[in-house]
Chains A and B, each alone.
Chain A
Amino acid sequence: MEGAQIVIASEAKQSSFFEKEKLDCFVASLLAMTADNAPAMKTREEIAQALAASGYIADSELATAISLMQLLKRPLLLEGEAGVGKTEVAKALAAAHATELIRLQCYEGLDQSAALYEWNYQRQLLAIQAHRGDKADTIEDQIFSEKYLLERPLLAAIRRRTPPVLLIDEIDRADDEFEAFLLELLSDFQVSIPELGTITATTIPHVILTSNGTRELSDALRRRCLYHYVDYPDVDREARIIMARITGAGASLSLQIARMVENVRKEELRKVPGVAETLDWAAALVGLGVRDLHDVPETVHETLMCLLKTHEDKSRLTREISERLLGKVA
């Protein structure tokens, strides 16, 4: 990646639009207009470090995406295969900011009362019974007050003192209508409750949306968000992930596991193993006291069930194939 940047930079020098002095002039004039945005650049490497400290090894593009999130105050839409660690990004981000993670798991039929707010009906009824004889207005004022309001994730996220990380997980599982409603919330960050009035956000949460692609999302939502495609990590990054997450996994074993998983992914499988499966497998191997994969080919084959989740895949990766794949691991 760094190498590519250098090449681009050298080419850019020849391009008239990247000429240094002209650019400086342009940047200076724009900086004057948006002075408060300057520090965001520095934080990019810090973000990667902070994420790493909380156990998530991010590539530089993801770090860029997160710094953009803060700079532009836009939600981040993460797409990718199941098990590549989309949800983990939100968890690590919350840990890095030392803030709360509020999670909204989407499902079919998710509606406002489960996502935004609901009145506590039982308590309202009790209050009505208890204050029988009071004036209707008094009772009404009482039972439609904060005390009787049940906060659901979306409302909770905009009413915190410090900005939390709001994770809207698997947005593709929710209905179209919910998506439209969410869009409105994400652009205004205010909620109107008929009985109570409009609640404006005290802080703007860091919003992360994830999607597995079971349904095509609307263009409007996509446009509102920054987009990042989370791919399977390369060998090096996956090895570092294993080392960060599994205590007792040494550097050489982690690298071997990562290489083996990469080989398995190249096979024609129904369900390609994700990072979560890799970690399961690494934990299993470490738990069995394995130091070097080449020493224990039988154990390797038998524990492959951590990676393969369908009968068909299991029967496809026979002992011979697993040994051949192991042979390719240097």
Chain B
Amino acid sequence: MSCCGTNPAYDELDEVCRLVSARLAAFLRTLRDNGFPVGLHEGRDAAVLMAAGYIERPGLLRSAFKHLFSARKSDWDKFDGLFDAFWLGRRVKSRSMTMGSVKAANSPSLKSLQDKRSERTGGDAATDQIPSADDAPEARAGEGRMEGASRADNLAEIDFRKMADPEQIEEAHNVAARLAKTMRTRLTRRDLARRRGYRLDLRRTIHSNISHGGVPISLVKRQRKEKPLRLVMLLDASGSMSMYTGVFLRFIHGVLDEFREAEAFLFHTRLAYVSDAMKEKDPARALDRLSIMAQGAGGGTKIGESLQTFNRWHAARVLHSRSCVMIVSDGYETGDAALLGREMAALAKRCRRIVWLNPMMAWRGYAPEAAGIKAALPYVDLYAPANTLKSLTELEPYLAKL
């Protein structure tokens, strides 16, 4: 379609040309469905390439199209598979079809694929991070240490684990979203109030006073530009946290929606980057997409290894000097605790603050004795309980100060 639109002689072309044009248009549509940012311009350029003789050698055409249509590393990596599948009839790896970036979210074909997928995985362990009404009661029965939670007089103080009622869960989700909203407004106001640090900008002063013959009458000053605070959240989705993950996911969803700059990661035995999936407007759909990405959640926790992955592959991109890293985890490390300590040290060098939220902390008699949490604590700026919505609200003044 896009290439045809720019082709003035479309009606005069014979059937073959029309067939190839239609096929190219279909390929562009496939790419769009897979999250490639392909527009009219690219379609026209693709036609130019085919005309320039690239079409005679598929290997070359593939390489040329790859440069033209890819926009980032993830596109770059999966392009060859898509090209082969479309033009040469080879099978594509299912991963590249289903785990496309967020841009593809509006395409019906991908959605149906995802829905099918989540239905399929609905029964297995991957979805137990979302405490639905069905599986919560059994989990409750299995847990023996619930009495440690604060006595509830209103919803805000009920331990997340006790909220099996879907309505209550819904309410908790809403509170989390509201909280994220208030935190954000606080932060931005704080940011504005700080904008001082005046210096005289000589060059601009002279420039603006040329009309006065160079006599500096109106002064131009320089303001320091403050970056907005960036919140990077790392959520533990392992089995021991499964009662809390649902609410925190909703909280993260609120944070990603409301903060100007926020990124989210999920980890259990490995780390998954979930910001793209979470930026979906509909929370239920976001959770569906997540459940696909978080295959293997609900098992053990390798916090150290996950942090290592984070430091190595993501930290340079998502962290800057005004970043706050928020780790939500119970600190039960099944991997190497020493590694966790090392990675926490590396992380602490890169960001402004590390906040560690531990839902277990409010339990009566809990002491941070797990090897993991012991190794991590020296590098944590704030270690706080987060088992109730109220405890989340209590964080707000601290975050506003950053």
By a beta-carbon cutoff of 8 Å, the part of chain A in contact with chain B is 1, 4-5, 8-9, 11-12, 15, 17-18, 22-23, 25-27, 29-31, 33-34, 37-38, 40-41, 44, 60-61, 64-65, 68, 71-72, 74, 76, 79, 109, 113, 118-119, 121-122, 124-125, 128-129, 143, 212-216, 219, 222-223, 225-229, 268, 270
Q: Is the CB of B73 within 8 A of A12?
A: no
Given A68-B49, A72-B48, A213-B317, CB of A8 within 8 Å of CB of B75: no
CB distance from A194 to the nearest CB of B (A): 12
Q: Are B64 and A227 within 8 A (Cβ)?
A: no
- B47 — which chain A residues lie within 8 A by C-beta? 30
Give the chain B neighbours of A8 by CB distance below 8 A.
Answer: 58-59, 62, 84, 88
CA distance A119 to B208 in the complex (A): 11
- One of B13-21, B179-187, B389-397 at the interface: B13-21
A25 contacts B57, C-beta separation under 8 Å = no
Q: For residue B314, which residue of chain A has the nearest CB?
A: A213
Residues from chain A with Cβ under 8 Å of B378 in the complex = none
Q: List 11 A-B contacts (CB under 8 A).
A: A5-B59, A8-B58, A12-B87, A30-B17, A38-B52, A44-B60, A64-B67, A72-B45, A79-B73, A125-B210, A214-B320
B48 touches A27 (CB 8 A): no
Q: Are A227 and B72 in contact (CB under 8 A)?
A: yes
B5 within 8 A of A: no
Shortest beta-carbon distance from A30 to chain B in Å? 3
When C-beta atoms are compared, the residue in chain B nearest to A213 turns out to be: B317
Are the CB atoms of A17 and B23 closer together than 8 Å? yes
Chain B residues 1 to 35 lying within 8 A of chain A, measured CB to CB, are: 7, 9, 13-14, 16-17, 19-20, 23
Given contact pairs A121-B210, A227-B76, A23 touches B55 in the complex (Cβ within 8 A): yes
Do the beta carbons of A37 and B52 come within 8 Å of each other? Answer: yes
A44 to B103, CA, bound (A): 33
Q: Which of B17, B62, B72, B89 contacts A29 (CB 8 A)?
A: B17
Tell me if B42 and A223 are in contact (CB < 8 A): yes
Q: Give CA–CA (A222, B73) in the complex, Å.
A: 11
Give the shortest distance, in Å, between A291 (CB) and chain B (any CB). Answer: 36
Report A9 CB to chain B, min CB distance, Å. 6
Do the beta carbons of B14 and A15 come within 8 Å of each other?
no
Residue in B closest to A5 when the chains form the complex, CB atoms:
B59
Dominant SS among interface residues on chain A: helix
Q: Tell me if B151 counts as interface (CB < 8 A to partner A).
A: no
Q: Is B50 an interface residue (CB 8 A)?
A: yes
- Bound: A15/B83 CA distance, A: 13
Cα distance A309–B232 when bound, in Å? 27
| Residues of the B chain whose Cβ atoms lie less than 8 Å from the Cβ of A31 | 51, 53
| A125 partner, pick from B42, B75, B214, beta carbons under 8 A | B214
8 nearest A-B residue pairs (beta carbon): A5-B59, A30-B51, A222-B71, A227-B70, A125-B214, A22-B16, A37-B52, A121-B206
Chain A residues with CB under 8 Å of B75's CB are: 227
How distant is A204 from chain B, measured CB to nearest CB, in Å? 15
Which of the residues B38, B53, B71 comes within 8 Å of A38, measured between beta carbons? B53
Q: Is B95 engaged at the interface, CB distance under 8 Å to the other chain?
A: no
Interface positions of B (Cβ within 8 A of A): 7, 9, 13-14, 16-17, 19-20, 23, 37-39, 41-42, 45, 47-60, 62-64, 66-68, 70-73, 75-76, 84, 87-90, 103, 203, 206-207, 210, 213-214, 225, 308, 312, 316-317, 320, 346
Q: In the assembled complex, which residues on chain A have CB atoms less than 8 Å from the CB atom of B55?
A: 23, 26-27
A71 touches B52 (CB 8 A): yes
Pick the contact of A40: B52, B62, B214 (CB < 8 A). Answer: B52
Given contacts A64-B64, A223-B71, contact A15 B56 (CB under 8 A): no
| Complex Cα gap A125–B202 (Å) | 14
Q: Which residue of A lies closest to B24 (CB)?
A: A17
Cβ of B206: which chain A residues have Cβ within 8 Å of it? Answer: 121-122, 125
Contact yes or no, A34 B51, CB < 8 A: yes
- Among A9, A26, A34, A64, the residue within 8 A (CB) of B63 is A64
Inter-subunit contact A15/B89 (CB<8 Å): yes
State how many angstroms separate the Cβ of A178 from the closest Cβ of chain B: 12
Q: Is the CB–CB distance between B60 and A5 below 8 Å? A: yes
- Distance (whole angstroms) from the CB of B136 to the closest CB of chain A: 37
Name the distance in Å between B254's Cβ and chain A's nearest Cβ.
Answer: 21
Residue of A nearest to B80 (CB): A4
Contact present for A68 and B68 (CB under 8 Å): yes
Bound CA–CA A71/B44 (angstroms): 13
Are A33 and B51 neighbours in the complex by a CB distance under 8 Å?
yes
A25 and B16 form a contact (CB under 8 A): yes
Known contacts A41-B54, A227-B72; can you find 6 more A-B pairs with CB under 8 A? Answer: A8-B62, A25-B16, A33-B51, A64-B64, A65-B67, A124-B210
**A71 near B49: Cβ-Cβ < 8 Å:** yes
- Across the interface, do A219 and B71 meet the contact criterion of CB distance under 8 Å? yes
Could you say which residues of chain B place their CB within 8 Å of the CB of A22?
16, 19-20
Closest B residue by C-beta to A228: B67
Nearest CB on B from A199, distance (A)? 19
